[in-house]
Amino acid sequence: MERWKLNGKKALITGATKGIGLSIAEEFADLGAELILVARNKDDLDFTVNKLSASGVKVFGIQADVSIRFEYV
């Protein structure tokens, strides 16, 4: 049975350098998705982006803390 694919899809994943977020990022990459990864720690984010990119994944990283409320002015 063939697995489903995410080719041509984009995924935004928060907490993408550890735990469940990292597992989701790796799985979505295996399924062919382009990734936008969000994490608080820049070093961890750069490591994860470089690791996935080296395996051919189209991936972009954003350092941010999504627990901080942001209001538009």
CA distances 10 to 21, 28, 57, 58, 71, Å, are 15, 9, 11, 10, 26
pLDDT per residue as tens digits for the range 12-68: 999 999 999 999 999 999 999 999 999 999 999 999 999 999 999 999 999 999 898
CA 69 from chain center: how many Å? 21
3-state DSSP assignment of residue 61: strand
- Its pTM stands at 0.88
- pLDDT band at 1; cut points 50, 70, 90: low
Nearest C-alpha neighbor of 21 from the set 32, 8, 11, 31:
11
d(CA 40, CA 8): 27
